[in-house]
């Protein structure tokens, strides 16, 4: 999927099977059916998938999308709407590599708000059998065709924090700079998005957190 990868944090070893992380939703957000902000967890080895939250039609929704051969179906057949979840809320995301799927559960104030399951192919089950890289990422993703800058799509001050990752051995570690690496990716990988023309784009990070904003409206 094309778009702007604002900022991401990826584990250095590829032996992980679970992540728990806090996500502070953006203070201001807008998206449409082709271009939308996403707040995602990735599981990658030779195959891979993203699972997480997108903002579309005025609602935060759970989704997943995978590289060819990873999941069947390749993407979700139905979105899960996160009811009673709004801008600025603090959520807990728990994403787990299980025996035949990757499962994401989202909590607010200790209460489960939604679950998304990404069924793995037999090839992916084998590929992920000894764990994989896990990343968390702030993104504006796009399925649009042609030049779509400027556009009334934006996300301001979303933040990942307080992460824990679990290896296939069962040992759990805090997610921080000692076992992960940060990528600042405000240079777009999509020829139709021109960051230089965007109203605003910024990201920052600390020892164990990442924060990002991007506004595709015209300066």
DSSP string for 79-145 = -EE-TT--TT-EEEEEEEE-SSEEEEEEEETTEEEEEEEEEBPHHHHHHTTT-BEEEEEEEEEE---
C-alpha 179/C-alpha 198 separation (Å) is: 33
* pLDDT at residue 38 in the model: 97
Q: State pTM to two decimals.
A: 0.95
Task: Specify the DSSP element, H or E, that contains 219.
Answer: none
Q: What is the pLDDT along the chain (219 residues), one digit of tens a residue?
A: 677 889 999 999 899 999 999 999 999 999 988 889 999 999 999 999 999 999 999 999 999 999 999 999 999 999 999 999 999 999 999 999 999 999 999 999 999 999 999 999 999 999 999 999 999 999 998 887 766 667 899 999 999 999 999 999 999 999 999 999 999 866 555 566 777 778 898 999 999 999 999 999 987
* pLDDT at residue 180 in the model: 97
User: What residues does each domain of the chain span?
Assistant: 2-218
Q: Name the 3-class secondary structure at 175.
A: coil
Query: What's the half-sphere exposure (Cβ side, CA atoms, 13 Å) at 205?
Result: 21
Which tokens in the block code for residue 10?
A: 């990826």
* pLDDT at residue 136 in the model: 98
116 CA to centre of own chain:
13
Which tokens in the block code for residue 154?
A: 């934006």
Q: Is there a contact between 96 and 20 (Cβ–Cβ < 8 Å)?
A: no
User: Position of tokens 């164990």?
Assistant: 208
- C-alpha distance across the termini of the chain, in Å: 25
- Kindly state the DSSP code that residue 193 receives in the 8-state scheme: -
Q: Name the 3-class secondary structure at 124.
A: helix
C-alpha 209/C-alpha 160 separation (Å) is: 6
* pLDDT at residue 148 in the model: 65
Which CATH number applies to 2-218? Answer: 2.60.120.1270
């Amino acid at each position: 999927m094309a778009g702007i990868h604002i900022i991401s944090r990826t584990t250095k070893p590829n032996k992980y099977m679970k992540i728990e992380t806090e996500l502070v939703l953006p203070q201001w957000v807008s998206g449409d059916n082709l271009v939308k902000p996403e707040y995602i967890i990735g599981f990658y080895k030779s195959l891979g998938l993203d699972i997480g939250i997108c903002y579309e039609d005025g609602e935060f929704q759970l989704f997943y999308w995978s590289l060819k051969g990873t999941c069947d179906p390749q993407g979700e057949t139905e979105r899960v709407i996160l009811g009673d979840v709004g801008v600025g809320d603090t959520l807990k995301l728990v994403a787990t590599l299980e025996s035949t799927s990757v499962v994401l559960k989202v909590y607010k104030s200790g209460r489960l708000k939604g679950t998304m399951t990404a069924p793995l192919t037999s090839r992916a089950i084998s590929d992920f059998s000894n764990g994989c890289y896990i990343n968390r990422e702030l993104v504006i993703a796009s399925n649009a065709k042609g030049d779509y800058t400027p556009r009334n799509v934006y996300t301001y001050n979303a933040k990942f924090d307080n992460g824990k990752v679990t290896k296939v051995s069962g040992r759990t570690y805090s997610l921080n700079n000692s076992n992960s690496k940060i990528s600042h990716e405000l240079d777009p990988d999509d020829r139709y998005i021109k960051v230089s023309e965007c109203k605003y784009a910024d990201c920052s990070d600390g020892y164990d957190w990442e924060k990002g904003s991007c506004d595709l409206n015209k300066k």
